[in-house]
Amino acid sequence: MKFIDEANIEAHAGKGGDGSASFRREKFVPRGGPDGGDGGRGGSIFARADRNINTLVDYRFQRIHRAKGGENGRGADCNGRSAEDVVLRVPVGTVVTDAETGEAVADLASHDQVALLAKGGAGGLGNLNFKSSTNRAPRQFTRGGDGESRRLKFELKVLADVGLLGMPNAGKSTFIRAVSAARPKVADYPFTTLHPNLGVVRVDENRSFVIADIPGLIEGAAEGAGLGHQFLRHLARTRLLLHIVDLAPFDPSTDPVAEARAIVHELEKYDQALFDKPRWLVLNKMDLLDVDGRDERVRRFIADFGWQGKSFIISAIDGGGCREITFAIMEHLQNTAVPAEPVAQDD
């Protein structure tokens, strides 16, 4: 199934049914009085997070969603039937915003979390509600209210504990293949990863975490170069970022320090909160470096880059150093508090 991580829809809730202006007329029941029932409530539209769905592809092609209107009230004190609600199933991690105002509507971050997208109209009142000692034959009734209509934007932010950053061909997909059962495409040309990949890293029988691999960034991504920033949203929920750097690029003229700085710059331009997340440096492709000069190459890169945080040296192609980093990640996640999940928004 094609991976779709954003979609625009229209949600039209149902109109409420009209109230009835009716009078009881039966043999042997003189002056029966008003008996008009109320109209039914119009159907509302909800979104429900479902962990069995992992893409928004259904909403890319079915954009308009309508709920039915409530039935009108009838005589004999019969209220109209309320319409059924429409529930849209979306992947866990979907963020809903108003497409016109940009206002946040819901953040569906947990399974079975429900949010109201468009509220159905209230049913109208029948004339039975207007009778009184001074108004014994009321002819007043009210019309049903209109349902809400909204243009909404769905954005999927995948749920992962760790996110991978880096230039194309830095070895992010190879790394996720080395530490998990995920099998993203790997090739010797840039942008082999065209959509996010998730992998579950099992450290031991009872401990595991989820890692997300997104398409590589290049300098100028904010202006649309390469695949742009469109996939960085998938790192918003992560608790740790791994900045993977290729220390043995195919092109000898490539400067790994300049590329690493470009990634950091693009990250800061995209979102300050994402830039402020804990970030570790992972120097990859050690198997391609001469053994005698490897330590000096690493030392010089860290000095030129000005890195003072935690760093690791790995060779993702043969798994060298990968086990050590997975245990370090697991320890970090266990010692870091998990952000509180948002409260479900019910009707």
Integer Cα distance of 148 and 12 in angstroms = 6
Task: Give the closest residue to 118 by CA, choosing from 142, 138, 88, 139.
Answer: 88
The conformation of residue 250, written as its DSSP 8-state character, comes to S
Residues 26, 152 within the same domain: yes
| Domain final residue, candidates 156, 171, 199 | 156
Answer whether residue 75 is part of any domain.
yes
Residues 50, 150 within the same domain: yes
| Domain final residue, candidates 137, 156, 175 | 156
Rounded to the nearest 5 percent, the helix, strand and coil shares of the chain are 20, 25, 55
Answer whether residue 346 is part of any domain.
no
Residues 29, 142 within the same domain: yes
List, for residues 236-264, the tens digit of each pLDDT value.
778 899 999 988 887 778 888 988 888 88
Quote the domain boundaries for residue 92.
6-156
What are phi and psi for residue 229, nearest 5 degrees? Answer: -95, 5
Integer Cα distance of 327 and 314 in angstroms = 14
Residues 145, 281 within the same domain: no
Answer whether residue 344 is part of any domain.
no
**Quick one: pLDDT at residue 338?**
58
The conformation of residue 159, written as its DSSP 8-state character, comes to -
**Quick one: pLDDT at residue 5?**
72
**Quick one: pLDDT at residue 195?**
58
Domain total for the chain?
2
Residues 203, 258 within the same domain: yes
Answer whether residue 311 is part of any domain.
yes
Contacts (Cβ under 8 Å, ≥6 apart) of 331: none
Residues 182, 327 within the same domain: yes
pTM of the model: 0.69
3-class SS at 342? coil
Residues 12, 141 within the same domain: yes
| Largest Cα span, the chain | 111
Element (H, E) at 299: helix 291-305
Answer whether residue 347 is part of any domain.
no
Residues 108, 47 within the same domain: yes
Element (H, E) at 33: none
Task: Give the closest residue to 245 by CA, choosing from 158, 333, 177, 307.
Answer: 307
**Quick one: pLDDT at residue 10?**
95
> 223: which strand partners?
none
Residues 109, 191 within the same domain: no
**Quick one: pLDDT at residue 231?**
65
Residues 294, 192 within the same domain: yes
Integer Cα distance of 205 and 8 in angstroms = 41
Answer whether residue 343 is part of any domain.
no
Taking the CB of residue 68, how many other CB atoms lie within 10 A of it?
A: 19
Element (H, E) at 305: helix 291-305
**Quick one: pLDDT at residue 337?**
62
Residues 167, 147 within the same domain: no
For tokens 């009716």, what's the residue?
22
**Quick one: pLDDT at residue 228?**
45
Report how far apart, in Å, the C-alpha atoms of 302 and of each of 167, 229, 245, 266, 292 are.
17, 26, 11, 20, 18
Instruction: Please report, for the domain that includes residue 185, its CATH number.
Output: 3.40.50.300
For tokens 């479902």, what's the residue?
50
Integer Cα distance of 179 and 317 in angstroms = 11
| Domain final residue, candidates 105, 121, 156 | 156
Integer Cα distance of 251 and 258 in angstroms = 14
Taking the CB of residue 305, how many other CB atoms lie within 10 A of it?
A: 19
Residues 180, 107 within the same domain: no
Per-residue pLDDT of the chain (347 residues; tens, 9 = 90+): 445 678 899 999 999 999 999 998 888 877 778 999 999 999 999 999 998 887 888 888 889 999 999 999 998 889 999 999 999 999 888 999 999 998 999 999 889 999 999 999 999 999 988 998 888 889 899 999 999 999 999 988 877 888 888 887 788 888 888 888 766 555 443 444 455 677 888 888 788 888 888 765 555 544 544 444 556 777 777 889 999 998 888 777 888 898 888 888 888 887 788 888 899 999 988 888 887 888 888 999 999 988 888 999 988 888 888 889 999 999 998 887 655 444 444 44
The conformation of residue 216, written as its DSSP 8-state character, comes to P
**Quick one: pLDDT at residue 193?**
47
Instruction: Please report, for the domain that includes residue 63, its CATH number.
Output: 2.70.210.12
Answer whether residue 132 is part of any domain.
yes
**Quick one: pLDDT at residue 175?**
87
Answer whether residue 110 is part of any domain.
yes
